[in-house]
Structure 1
Amino acid sequence: MDRIDMKTIAITLGDPAGIGPEIALKAIQSLTAASDAAHTRLLLIGDAGTLTATGSKLGLPVPPVIQADDLDTAPSAAILPTSRPAEPIETGRVSAEGGRQAFEAVRMAVDLALSGRIGAMVTAPLNKEALHLGGHHYPGHTEMLADLTGVRDSVMMLAHQNFRVSHVTTHCALEDVPKKATAARIRRVVDLTHAALVALSINDPRIAIAALNPHAGEGGIFGRHDIDITAPVVADYQAKGWRILGPVPGDTVFVKLRAGQYDAVIAMYHDQGHIPVKLLGFVIDAATGTWTELSGVNVTLGLPIIRTSVDHGTAFDIAGRGVAQPSSLIEAIAYAQYALTRQA
């Protein structure tokens, strides 16, 4: 099929019981007022009824509803409803229906991206428990997208400004990390991270690999994974002239990244990489002790399509209250827009 519009970006609503519908409408409102709105079509994929109800409750404008056949003539913002009839759900509650709706929106966006009918997809957060209750047993978006696009694996990269962290493993038990962090997997993450940085106009990027064990194993006293698995991989890349460093102890590697000594860090497991990015990205109200805003983007590397995402969850506790901030979603859309310009 011919590509209809490489500047069309689909935004999946995630779990409709969370803040996805709210931040999607707020992002649309903000971005369609921008001067370059005519150059990017934003397509909300999800239940039109949920979006209409959210817009009515919170006083947010709701884009018109279109059908898939109308994509090439759609306005700069539109809603493409999922084909599966939606059942009522309760805001702020985990449900099988919420999981099914979230999956259906992602599946539809992937199909449109693979067929060339949209240029990129951006995902609002889903709830993993709801996803499983709905019959879709994926650890998260990253693994789901790899399966739906038919790739053998993919890589999660979190980005907060110039603070970028890719992950060797993500949604698995900590006890399973060592056997999953193989030399082959580390090489795959290095290759995809390097390519992503070059695509961001960072030539000859500096990439540090975080150690799995404290003090990078301390000569084997605290384990040999860093010595036997990671160090030989680093040596091979350095022999090719790549600026790959490590294994660097996890308690200092992110300080050095923040100081600008690296362009990215490769973390061995989920929390090792997520904690520093989210610590920087969350804006905390000192008076209330609650977070008011979040900056950061989740980018999936290794897919045949462009996919970015927010760097936060469904926030069921504040869903429907009108206080959710769309900052992370707007950043994710901006990353997708940039990727499209680089691809053109």
Structure 2
Amino acid sequence: MTTVREIIAIPMGDAAGIGPEITVKSLAKEELYNMCKPLVVGDAKIIRKAIEVTGVNLQVSTVASPAEGAYEFGTIDVLDLTNIDMDSFEPGEVAAQNGKAAFEYIKRSVELAMAGEVKALATTPMNKESLKAANVPYIGHTEMLEDLSQSPDPLTMFQVNGMRIFFLTRHVSVAKAITQMTKERVHDYLIRCDKALQRLGVENRKLAVAGLNPHAGEGGLFGNEEIEEIKPGVELAVASGIDAYGPVPADSVFFQALNGKYDAVLSLYHDQGHIAAKMTDFHRTISITNGLPFLRTSVDHGTAFDIAWKNIASEVSMYECIKLAAEYAPKFTRESL
């Protein structure tokens, strides 16, 4: 069976961070070129410097559009925005020019994806302080992608070793998260999770919802949230045609999903799902942003200024990020959620 190689845009991220290094080290692995056509959207001068620092045996070819890329192992195709001044560039430092450039890489990549010139984005880290220094009006990738693509309320999914995790609530306190665990929200999110998996090409989707309290409340002995909100939300989803189960005790549901019992788990709050994923394999935990008109995968770590440009950073997360985009891209459907 012939593998469909889709074009994957790789916005370079903050030039002073580890993004350029882990990108070139990932693209030094020939197997990625058997799976996809990687296109770096960034600054060719920085990519060449990253090649020099890491010692990988690669060349750079600058292109004006995705269609111009050769996508052959040994040469990195770079859509060169030429927006880094090397005379003032300082590795591992916050700088406005790097924040501005990082946003421009994302903006250009989104434009290419919206135009159908690339099938997916595999994003590298940006630095919030550099974005702020550049007066970029976004705190991070998700907010940029939401606004640039006019896609309200994107849905985050983690994948690690085949286990998929969605999040009912994200960056709020645990106390506030509990107030958001309504049956209506559980119902809505299960429908969205099912649709997201469908767009990724997952068939016969079986979804579990994690419990909140010990033993999922043990019939009300340890709390009533499962009885009053979570279980009724699951029942509403089932009535809507979703193959959903739960609440399943959180101390077992992720293990069960990892072993294939469920296609995905809906985590009720941020750390519940993050801990499960990152304890499974920190470096191979990849984030997928669903609800966009295009596929987006991302590493789940930062710019690591303390080790940047020292050839220390591991490329495992970036490699897995590009690989996962390559696996899903041929099956991904562009319909809006």
Instruction: Output the CA distance in 1 between the equivalents of 2:96 and 2:183.
Output: 38
Q: Which moved more, 1:320-329 or 1:248-257?
A: 248-257
Q: Which moved more, 1:138-147 or 1:105-114?
A: 138-147
Instruction: Output the CA distance in 2 between the equivalents of 1:188 and 1:55.
Output: 46
What is the SS of the residue equivalent to 2:77? Answer: strand
Partner of 2:330: 341
Partner of 1:40: 36
TM-superposed deviation, 1:299: 0.9
What aligned pairs does 1:233-272 form with structure 2 within 5 A after superposition? 233-272=233-272
TM-superposed deviation, 1:147: 1.8
Instruction: Output the CA distance in 2 between the equivalents of 1:103 and 1:56.
Output: 25
Q: Tell me if the contact between 1:158 and 1:311 (Cα under 8 Å) persists in the aligned partners.
A: no
Partner of 1:67: 64
Instruction: Output the CA distance in 2 between the equivalents of 1:143 and 1:225.
Output: 31
What is the SS of the residue equivalent to 1:24? Answer: helix
TM-superposed deviation, 1:264: 1.2
Partner of 1:157: 157
* Aligned CA distance change for structure 1 residues 104 and 170 (closer, same or farther; 3 Å): farther
What aligned pairs does 1:118-129 form with structure 2 within 5 A after superposition? 118-129=118-129
Q: Tell me if the contact between 1:6 and 1:116 (Cα under 8 Å) persists in the aligned partners.
A: no
Instruction: Output the CA distance in 1 between the equivalents of 2:178 and 2:101.
Output: 35
Partner of 2:146: 146
* Aligned CA distance change for structure 1 residues 221 and 39 (closer, same or farther; 3 Å): closer
Instruction: Output the CA distance in 1 between the equivalents of 2:35 and 2:290.
Output: 25
* Aligned CA distance change for structure 1 residues 343 and 101 (closer, same or farther; 3 Å): same
Partner of 2:99: 99
**Aligned residues, how many?**
324
Q: Tell me if the contact between 2:190 and 2:237 (Cα under 8 Å) persists in the aligned partners.
A: no
Task: For residues 19-45 of structure 1, give each alpha carbon's deviation from its aligned partner in whole angstroms, at most 9, with x where no partner exists.
Answer: 110111112221xx33x8377331111
TM-score (norm 1): 0.83
For structure 1, list consecutive stretches of 5 or more residues without a partner in the other structure: 283-293
What is the SS of the residue equivalent to 1:18? Answer: coil
What is the SS of the residue equivalent to 1:102? Answer: helix
Counterpart of 2:97, as a letter, is: E
Q: Tell me if the contact between 2:156 and 2:289 (Cα under 8 Å) persists in the aligned partners.
A: yes
- 1:321 and 2:310 correspond: yes
The equivalent position to 2:297 in structure 1, one of 298, 304, 308, is: 308
Counterpart of 1:262, as a letter, is: Y
What aligned pairs does 1:82-231 form with structure 2 within 5 A after superposition? 82=81, 84=83, 86=85, 88-199=88-199, 202-217=202-217, 224-231=224-231
* Aligned CA distance change for structure 1 residues 24 and 211 (closer, same or farther; 3 Å): same
* Aligned CA distance change for structure 1 residues 228 and 118 (closer, same or farther; 3 Å): same
Q: Percent of pairs identical after alignment?
A: 36
Counterpart of 2:154, as a letter, is: S
TM-superposed deviation, 1:339: 2.4
Instruction: Output the CA distance in 1 between the equivalents of 2:208 and 2:249.
Output: 10
* Aligned CA distance change for structure 1 residues 181 and 150 (closer, same or farther; 3 Å): farther
The equivalent position to 2:50 in structure 1, one of 48, 51, 54, is: 54
* Aligned CA distance change for structure 1 residues 240 and 131 (closer, same or farther; 3 Å): same
* Aligned CA distance change for structure 1 residues 58 and 8 (closer, same or farther; 3 Å): same
What is the SS of the residue equivalent to 2:331? Answer: helix
Instruction: Output the CA distance in 2 between the equivalents of 1:128 and 1:175.
Output: 26
Task: For residues 232-254 of structure 1, give each alpha carbon's deviation from its aligned partner in whole angstroms, at most 9, with x where no partner exists.
Answer: 11011223453312223333322
* Aligned CA distance change for structure 1 residues 6 and 41 (closer, same or farther; 3 Å): closer
What is the SS of the residue equivalent to 2:203? Answer: coil
Instruction: Output the CA distance in 1 between the equivalents of 2:301 and 2:317.
Output: 8
Q: Tell me if the contact between 2:41 and 2:80 (Cα under 8 Å) persists in the aligned partners.
A: yes
Counterpart of 2:63, as a letter, is: I
Q: Tell me if the contact between 2:295 and 2:332 (Cα under 8 Å) persists in the aligned partners.
A: no
For structure 2, list consecutive stretches of 5 or more residues without a partner in the other structure: none
TM-score (norm 2): 0.84
Give the CA RMSD over aligned residues. 2.8
* Aligned CA distance change for structure 1 residues 134 and 230 (closer, same or farther; 3 Å): farther
Task: For residues 100-121 of structure 1, give each alpha carbon's deviation from its aligned partner in whole angstroms, at most 9, with x where no partner exists.
Answer: 2222211110111111121111
What is the SS of the residue equivalent to 2:238? Answer: helix
Instruction: Output the CA distance in 2 between the equivalents of 1:82 and 1:169.
Output: 36
Partner of 1:21: 20
* Aligned CA distance change for structure 1 residues 16 and 183 (closer, same or farther; 3 Å): farther
What is the SS of the residue equivalent to 2:287? Answer: strand
Q: Tell me if the contact between 1:12 and 1:46 (Cα under 8 Å) persists in the aligned partners.
A: yes
Instruction: Output the CA distance in 2 between the equivalents of 1:260 and 1:213.
Output: 24
